[in-house]
């Protein structure tokens, strides 16, 4: 194979109770990318559509991740990359992760999979470091593994793929304002109280158990954030009302997607998801900030080849 065209999914990181350690891939929201083998041993970004992003390799998250891959690959050629952005940077649904994880996934396919998924995550994390100053894996790992992913440990990196219950849908409300992950990390406290930790790890365990048991109520009860949400939600206009109305409309749970401004809800079934999308929309219609609402099934496969 000389060339591959792929879909790189958007992702919801944190999932309320799992700051920096939990994420899930979405099915119908994501970027497209074409990666081609070339004779010269270098990485080149030849085209970017949809967003005004730098093509210089060391300034582009896909370029940085691709270079990390090429440095370790036993391959004498290089790669040419075309990126078609559909996910806006600073949206909270893993725009940088779609590019950095998508490109290394595609390169690995072109070379007949010399690297493990975990190694791909390590390359993609270099792109995240460029985007937010922190090499977090909770967006890139779901792009590469698919479905729900737990980053059990960063040093050493230990990634656990979790089940994706079939009836789960995500609703995303994306206010059209940009919040840079680096900025929304700066406002976080670096220390937490023991009682907050107790609630948070209780919920994280509950979420993992809920996914294994396909216990939708348990999944919903576990989508609570006692540590990050109280601080970050002040950056998101109407957050509390969107959350309240989503839960009233039947959402299992609702919180900040990644570092925001997007708000996510998880729902059991498409009907519930559509009701919740309508409820979110009603709140934002009054706020006067442009927004988009998406309903998506969860994506158990992650990045995939397009025909
Ligand atoms: N875990 C990261 C954060 C995700 O919340 O800063 C960013 O998308």
Could you tell me where the beta strands, DSSP code E, fall in the chain? Answer: 3-13, 22-38, 43-49, 78-84, 148-154, 157-161, 168-175, 253-256, 263-268, 291-297, 304-305
Q: Specify the CATH superfamily of domain 168-297.
A: GHMP kinase, C-terminal domain (3.30.70.890)
Active-site pick, 11, 32, 122, 128: 128
Indicate the helix (H) or strand (E) that contains 61.
Answer: helix 61-72
Instruction: State mean pLDDT over 107-117.
Output: 98
Q: Answer yes or no: 181 catalytic.
A: yes
Active-site pick, 11, 32, 122, 181: 181
Q: Is 96 in the pocket of ligand 1 (CB under 6 A)?
A: no
Q: Is 136 in the pocket of ligand 1 (CB under 6 A)?
A: yes
**pLDDT single digits (tens) 171-213:** 999 999 999 999 999 999 999 999 999 999 999 999 999 999 9
**pLDDT single digits (tens) 70-86:** 999 999 999 999 999 99
Q: Is 14 in the pocket of ligand 1 (CB under 6 A)?
A: yes
Q: Which of 19, 174, 188, 231 maximizes ligand 1 atoms within 8 Å of its Cβ, making it the mutation to test the pocket?
A: 19
- Candidates 270, 269, 220, 214; CA nearest to 243 is 220
**pLDDT single digits (tens) 210-265:** 999 999 999 999 999 999 999 999 999 999 999 999 999 999 999 999 999 999 99
Looking at residue 88, what is its pLDDT? 94
Looking at residue 307, what is its pLDDT? 87
Q: Is 20 in the pocket of ligand 1 (CB under 6 A)?
A: yes
Report percent pLDDT > 70 for the chain: 100
Residue nearest to atom 7 of ligand 1 (CA): 258
> Do 21 and 204 meet the contact criterion of CB atoms below 8 Å apart?
yes
The domain spans of the chain are: 3-162, 168-297
**pLDDT single digits (tens) 138-164:** 999 999 999 999 999 999 999 999 999
Looking at residue 212, what is its pLDDT? 98
For the chain, give the mean pLDDT: 97
CATH T-level topology, domain 3-162: Ribosomal Protein S5; domain 2 (3.30.230)
Looking at residue 303, what is its pLDDT? 98
Full-model pTM: 0.97
């Amino acid at each position: 194979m000389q060339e591959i065209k792929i879909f790189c999914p958007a992702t919801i990181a944190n999932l309320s109770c799992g700051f920096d350690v939990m994420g899930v891939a979405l099915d119908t929201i994501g970027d497209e990318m074409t990666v081609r083998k070339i004779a010269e041993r270098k990485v080149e970004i030849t085209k970017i559509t949809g967003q005004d992003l730098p093509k210089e390799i060391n300034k582009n998250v896909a370029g940085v991740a691709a270079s990390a891959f090429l440095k370790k690959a036993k391959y004498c050629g290089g790669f040419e990359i075309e990126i078609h952005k559909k996910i806006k940077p600073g949206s909270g649904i893993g725009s940088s992760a779609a590019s950095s994880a998508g490109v290394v996934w595609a390169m690995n396919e072109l070379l007949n999979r010399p690297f493990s998924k975990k190694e791909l995550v390590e390359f993609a994390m270099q792109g995240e470091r460029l985007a937010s100053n922190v090499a977090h894996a909770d967006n890139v790992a779901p792009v590469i593994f698919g479905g729900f992913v737990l980053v059990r440990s960063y040093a050493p990196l230990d990634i656990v793929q979790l089940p994706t219950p079939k009836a789960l849908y995500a609703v995303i409300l994306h206010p059209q304002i940009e919040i840079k992950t680096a900025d929304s990390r700066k406002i976080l406290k670096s220390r937490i109280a023991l009682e907050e930790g107790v609630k948070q790890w209780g919920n994280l365990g509950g979420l993992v158990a809920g996914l294994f048991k396909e216990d939708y109520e348990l999944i919903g009860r576990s989508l609570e954030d006692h540590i990050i949400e109280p601080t970050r939600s002040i950056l998101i206009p109407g957050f509390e009302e969107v959350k309240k109305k989503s839960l009233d409309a039947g959402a299992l749970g609702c919180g900040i997607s990644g570092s925001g401004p997007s708000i996510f809800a998880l729902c059991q079934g498409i009907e519930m998801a559509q009701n919740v999308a309508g409820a979110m929309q009603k709140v934002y219609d009054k706020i006067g900030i442009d927004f988009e609402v998406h309903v998506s099934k969860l994506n158990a496969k992650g990045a995939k080849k397009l025909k």
